[in-house]
A and B are shown apart, each in its own frame.
Chain A
Amino acid sequence: MQQAGYGVPAGQVTPPAGDLASVINQCYQCGKCSAGCPVASEMDLLPHQMVRLAVLGDVAPIVASKSIWLCLTCHTCGARCPNGIDVPALLDPIRHQVLKNNVSTQESNVPLFHNTFLKTIRMFGRVHELTLIGLYKWKTKTFFDDMDLGMQMFRKGKIHLLPHRSSHLSEVKEVFKQSSMK
């Protein structure tokens, strides 16, 4: 299931440890998470398969999958799991390491979007839709998608031309300095 070109150099992404490892070890592969996942039909690894791989300490196929970025973090899996295993809570620490180590990914627009979103928060302290959408479209070269919709929203006063600049911007920047996005 591993795609060529999306491999993980050994040791760059570590499997779950501590409390999280002990929680996911409870998985008995009933498949309820995958049955309820709204994007299961698009996934190359199903949620219960990702849990199994994580239990076995084999995170490379998860890192190389589309699924890790297709997960909507809707938490339907976690809310229904008889053993209290929340797949997004398992995937988040893996996603953090993938991004921190600049590992190449499939579905790369998803991490790109989240990264851009956070950069606009670092810039202004709040989201500014026009900057966010502009930067994202610039990076993905999708300038003309949703042009109509954007104009309509602008006319309805839902998209602001100028960003609000928080007076706490220095505190926000300080928070980012302590993170992997420094």
Chain B
Amino acid sequence: MEYSYYPGCSLEGSARELNESFRTVSKKLGVTLFEIPDWTCCGASSAHMVDAYLEAALPAKDLLTAERIGKDVVAPCAGCHVRMKAASRRILEDADLRARFPFKGEIKVLSGLEMLHGQEILSRIKSSTIKPLEGLRVVPYYGCLAVRPPEVVEPDSPENPMQMDHILEAIGAEVLTWPYKTDCCGGSMALTRTDLVLKLSRKILDMALAVGADAIVTMCPMCQANLDTRQADISRQAGKAYQMPILYVTELIGVALGGTDTRQWFAKHMVSGENMLAGKGLI
């Protein structure tokens, strides 16, 4: 199985462990990823706020490159995924844009979860699991961009998505029911209105604690960074220590498939999760 790969800026920086774990587990599952040559930024949460042309044009070059290569593109970052899909839709609907960027829509843009949840890959995940995550209680946190806007992302369900649940079940984790699967952590205002973000993120952490989760699992680099890096501030504000590991689903797949030094990934988090996982005998 082969895909073009669009890592995006976060995966080169704050979400390095997502990049490394996504590549590692893909390889182990027999998926070959071809990075789009010298890709550029998709415009992220900013382009659409500032200029309609930039919103479509920034992802366009890499969409065209991917179409030339001829393989479907995987964008593990939920933000890149939604921006690339939104741009491809707009180009296909708008003749002026299409004249400038002759994208024909012959390739698909897949999210990381979509790729991992594909029938064949999901069954490979299940059959290749040598270290089932028994005793690990997790809440799947999809966040906004993995499901919304639904007409762009086309998730299985915008309110109650199940793809990450199924993947976590396949590797033997106990998936807890909770109401904040798709609530917003405030990621887009991490720097501009940190006060608001602390409020929203604390709500999510509190709910995960209330249902007895050992970790929050996500696929979104903005959610991960926000929930992980803000726990020190939230602890100071709340007067109690928050130590909730925020893990990428691909890191846990890496643990389940075995044979990888997964600690190097967890060490990159602010709340590492290493002790929790080691305490359960999983790493």
Q: Which residues of A contact B (CB under 8 A)?
A: 38-39, 42, 70, 72-76, 78-79, 86, 88-89, 92-93, 95-96, 99-100, 107, 109-115, 117-118, 121, 125-127, 129, 133, 136, 145-146, 148-149, 152-153, 156-160, 164, 166-168, 171-172, 175-176, 178-181
- The yes or no answer to B14 lying at the interface (CB within 8 A) is yes
- The yes or no answer to B232 lying at the interface (CB within 8 A) is yes
Rounded to whole angstroms, the CA-CA distance of A114 and B191 in the bound complex is 11
The answer on a CB contact under 8 Å between B58 and A110 is no
The answer on a CB contact under 8 Å between B40 and A110 is no
Question: Looking at chain A's contact residues, is the secondary structure mostly helix, strand, loop, or mixed?
Answer: helix
Cβ contacts under 8 Å, B192 to chain A = 107, 109-110, 112-113
The answer on a CB contact under 8 Å between B193 and A93 is no
Also in contact, A95 and B49, with CB within 8 A (given A75-B149, A113-B192, A127-B9): yes
Question: What distance in Å separates the Cβ of B99 from its nearest Cβ neighbour in chain A?
Answer: 13
- Select one of B49, B159, B194 contacting A145, CB under 8 A: B194
Question: What distance in Å separates the Cβ of A69 from its nearest Cβ neighbour in chain B?
Answer: 8
A-B contact count (CB 8 A): 155
The answer on a CB contact under 8 Å between B191 and A126 is no
- The yes or no answer to B255 lying at the interface (CB within 8 A) is no
- The yes or no answer to B283 lying at the interface (CB within 8 A) is no
| Interface bits B100-125 vs A (CB < 8 Å: 1, else 0) | 00000000000000000000000000
A100 (CB) vs chain B CBs: closest residue: B51
Also in contact, A92 and B144, with CB within 8 A (given A72-B189, A74-B184, A76-B184): no
The answer on a CB contact under 8 Å between B9 and A99 is no
The answer on a CB contact under 8 Å between A79 and B158 is yes
Interface size on B, residues (CB 8 A): 51
Which of A118, A133, A166, A172 has the most chain B CB within a 10 Å cutoff?
A118
The answer on a CB contact under 8 Å between B38 and A79 is no
Cβ contacts under 8 Å, A145 to chain B = 194
- The yes or no answer to B31 lying at the interface (CB within 8 A) is no
Cβ contacts under 8 Å, B41 to chain A = 121, 125-127
Which of A72, A76, A145, A180 has the most chain B CB within a 10 Å cutoff?
A72
Rounded to whole angstroms, the CA-CA distance of A146 and B10 in the bound complex is 18
The answer on a CB contact under 8 Å between A175 and B54 is yes
The answer on a CB contact under 8 Å between B183 and A181 is no
- The yes or no answer to B16 lying at the interface (CB within 8 A) is yes
Cβ contacts under 8 Å, A95 to chain B = 49-50
The answer on a CB contact under 8 Å between A114 and B186 is no
The answer on a CB contact under 8 Å between A72 and B184 is yes
